[in-house]
Amino acid sequence: MEDKTAISNCGIVVSVRGSVVDIRFDGRLPPIYSLLHAGSDNQISIEVLSQLDAYRVRGIALTPTQGLARGTVVTDTGGPLQAPVGKAILSRMFDVFGNVIDRHPPPSGIEWRSVHNAPPPLARRSTKSEVFETGIKVIDVLAPLERGGKAGLFGGAGVGKTVLLTEMIHNMVGHHEGVSIFCGIGERCREGEELYRDMKEAGVLPNMVMVFGQMNEPPGSRFRVGHAALTMAEYFRDDEHRDVLLLIDNIFRFIQAGSEISGLMGQMPSRLGYQPTMGTELSGLEERIANTDTGAITSIQAVYVPADDFTDPAAVHTFSHLSASIVLSRKRASEGLYPAIDPLQSGSKMATPGIVGERHYALAQEIRNTLAQYDDLKDIIAMLGLEQLSATDRAVVARARRLERFLTQPFYTTEQFSGIKGKLVSLKDALDGCERILRDEFKDVPEGALYMIGSVDEALQKVEADQPLSAAGKQPVVAT
């Protein structure tokens, strides 16, 4: 009965300004967030954002508005925008409306749910702080992620953001029995196609869902694609009781889409032209990413910082939600130190003695101090050479260089390019390796032996395989 009422509730377009459409209804006025359809095949979708008076609503088009004119009949669907959920969505690629975009037949046996859900209440949230192990040494040791937390991934083009995200998906699927959801907000279609192909080749597609709101789509579509991905993530967390890894690229483009909509709707802009409701809109998305009694949604978000200005309102509001910041460095990438994570600029709220333990915390601090001292000495080394340093400083440099190389790691997702088998390293092995390097156990081992290995014992195996041993059988003979 309700469906018939919804179908019969029709309105007329009274004005079209870009993506903003005003519609007059003589019957029931659709509530906020209602989805309206127009056009011959209902190809134009409009979401109601405000009610202007007793008869008119103003909406934002989620699709291009070509062909929309005054007097066009608009149909109220009787509900909000919905996203598909269910086991059948795994290994598939969707747009904001839940249409498949991977050239395969639509999945069967799926359920549709509203993309507008409230964050879980405090009573359902888990208060326990747990570390989310990624199997990537430099992250687990220096910037541990929080289970059910949010991590920001800061980096430019070509420094390895996508490779790092892909590896985390691989580790999550292979070793945590979880589900991964990739949400592309304002993504280039080329990047989406490459990612889909890479995931397929890496064999991680069966436990993964991809949702894209491409760069060329209207701001309404880009603004809602994050909510659609979160609805899918909430299904796996609450109904399937599985842990979810949600990857968002790029959270800045969500804010940007909101800013475009705000301007089109005629709202007064805030500082630097951002929408006055930016904090609320971002919180509405971020607060749904939570750790509950049934499972956790752990999110890793790529963050673009406009003009490298960390005081920009978009960056400031995003920072307030993050529990860990991972900064990728172009300089480290050029030196071949992959993953190119800057250990001194990256950090985490989880890296406290109460959460990670006294030993882990002390080791992380010692690693940072050693690398910071080496950073300070680089200018002196460049001008005067290593020989001019004191014996103590030379020992610090030797430790730091070995630590830098030990914190590199071969990835499963790059095996086909590097020819090196990928390694998943437990937190215990990573901490043991760092501790042994700091205690000078490897001062006679060449730096190169520590490069692109898993646990630290592989360096000794490398040396034994590559170099003849001395008569004592303990130290390798190094040609001078």
Active site residues: 161, 187-188
- The SS3 call for residue 138 is helix
DSSP code of 100? B
Closest to 351 (Cα-Cα) out of 370, 325, 380, 320: 325
* Alpha carbons 193 and 210: distance in angstroms, whole number: 11
- 169-200: b or e for each residue (b if 16 or more CB lie within 10 Å)? bbbbbeebebbbbbbbbbbeeeebeebbebbe
* Alpha carbons 75 and 72: distance in angstroms, whole number: 10
Asked whether the beta carbons of 207 and 180 are under 8 A apart, the reply is: yes
Residues in the chain: 480
- Strands in 244-249's sheet, in edge-to-edge order, are 93-94, 208-214, 179-187, 244-249, 297-303, 150-154, 324-327, 347-348
Closest to 478 (Cα-Cα) out of 455, 458, 449: 449
* Alpha carbons 389 and 402: distance in angstroms, whole number: 18
Q: How many Cβ atoms are within 10 Å of 34's Cβ, its own excluded?
A: 21
Name 347's bridge partners: 325
